[in-house]
Amino acid sequence: MALFSRIAKLEAEGKKAALVTVVRVSGSTPREPGAKMIVLEDGAIDGTIGGGAVELAAIQNAREAIADGQPRYLEHKLTQELGMCCGGQVSLFIEPLLRSPPLVIFGAGHVGAALCRAASAAGFAVFVVDEREELTRPDLLTGAKGRTNELDDPAIPFGPETFVMVTTHDHALDQKLVERSLAKRHRWLGVIGSQRKAILTRERLAHKGFTAEQVAAVRCPVGLAIGAETPEEIAVSILAELIAVRRGRVPTHALETKART
């Protein structure tokens, strides 16, 4: 239990880490299956899987796993080549402890609320922003970690890992929020709308002095083209793109929708 308490503490502090577990051994080895070690982004460790060259290799691989978000399975023979004389063999599983990425949803209408529920279930830490108090009740935004009725609330969790989705009830407000979000740190920014809206949005951004790189980074239309029509289906299509980006994939098909929230 202490191990999982430490993991929970790391997540609460926003620190990246990986968990190394001894999953199989044969012959003479310093640790038995189930031994675990936490590796932080800077290489610091909590626990041990036996020390020596195997542990050093595990730390290096764990840091790489933290960087790319991909798990690893390693097998080592404890021979003199590794500076170890146990003579056994050990298999390790390394899993990055991915933090729940923040997802800020501007707009708590039909699509925004549906996306809140779906994204929360998929592991995103959702924060919903809508000036309409009647739409930000906890019972309507199941799974949300935070809610606010202030568009410029300092509690909105902008940051280098934050996903931002703009899906309000008003095109002019969407434009305002896209501009404001571009000036904040974020990982991904999407806005619901059609191809025509995308063109107008980009033209206005360019006119406001945003760089070509910033303009091109705005995802509109947003979501994967799965033929979505209902708010729940549209939310699934958007979530699919969010997951693809989170996992390092490049979405290739955007969803054009005229649905409003």
145/158 Cα distance (integer angstroms): 14
CB 251, CB 217: distance < 8 Å: no
Please tell me whether residues 124 and 193 are part of one structural domain: yes
Q: Please, what is the average pLDDT of the chain? A: 89
Look up residue 129 and give its two tokens.
């922003």
- Are 116 and 84 members of one domain? no
Residue holding tokens 């006119």?
207
Q: How far apart are CA 183 and CA 179, in angstroms?
A: 7
Claim to verify: residue 136 and residue 179 sit in the same structural domain: yes
Say if 260 falls within a structural domain.
no
Q: Is residue 180 part of a domain?
A: yes
Q: Are residues 187 and 115 in the same domain?
A: yes
**CATH classification of the domain holding 172:** 3.40.50.720
The reply to whether 195 and 158 lie within a common domain is yes
Q: Is residue 259 part of a domain?
A: no
Beta strand pairing status for 17-26 and 89-97? Answer: antiparallel
Tokens of 93: 């599983």
> Which tokens belong to 103?
């997802």
Q: Is 108 in the same domain as 79?
A: no
How sure is the predictor about 141, in pLDDT bands with cuts at 50, 70 and 90?
very high
Task: Tell me what pLDDT residue 86 has.
Answer: 57
What angle, rounded to 10 degrees, do the helices at 195-207 and 171-182 form? Answer: 50
Q: Considering 56, 79, 97, which residue would you say is the last residue of a domain? A: 97
The values of phi and psi at residue 252, to 5°, are -110, -15
Position 260 scores a pLDDT of: 47
CA 163 – CA 245 distance, rounded (Å)? 10
Q: Where among 68, 97, 126 does a domain terminate?
A: 97
CA distance 211 to 198: 16
pLDDT band at 89; cut points 50, 70, 90: confident
145 and 235, same domain (yes or no) = yes
Residue 251 forms part of a structural domain:
no
Work out the pLDDT band at 186, boundaries 50, 70, 90. very high
Alpha carbon distance 254, 172 (integer Å): 22
Are 160 and 33 in a shared domain?
no
Which comes out higher in pLDDT, residue 184 or 1?
184
Sheet hosting strand 45-47, strand order edge to edge: 45-47, 36-40, 17-26, 89-97, 72-77
* Exposed / middle / buried, residue 72 (Cβ in 10 Å: 0-12, 13-18, 19+): middle
pLDDT at 247: 82
Provide mean pLDDT across the span 185-206. 95
Q: Which residue has the higher pLDDT, 259 or 204?
A: 204
Within this chain, do residues 120 and 150 fall inside the same structural domain, yes or no?
yes
So what's the pLDDT on residue 261?
54
What is the pLDDT, as a whole number, of residue 85?
55
Residue 115 shares a structural domain with residue 188: yes
Please give the full DSSP string across 197-210, using - where no structure is assigned: HHHHHHHHHHHTT-
The total of structural domains in the chain comes to: 2
Pairs from 233-241 (Cβ < 8 Å, separation ≥ 24):
234/111, 234/114, 234/192, 234/259, 235/111, 235/114, 235/115, 235/117, 235/118, 235/119, 236/118, 238/111, 238/115, 238/165, 238/190, 238/192, 239/115, 239/118, 239/119, 239/122, 241/190
What is the per-residue pLDDT across 213-248, written as a single tens digit (0 to 9) for each? 999 999 999 999 889 999 999 999 999 999 999 888
pLDDT tens digits, 62-71: 999 998 888 9
Residues 108 and 217 in one domain: yes
Domain of 177, in residue numbers: 102-246
What is the SS3 assignment for 129? strand
Domain match, 73 and 93 both: yes
Residue 10 lies in a domain: no
Point out the domain boundary residue: 41, 63, 97.
97
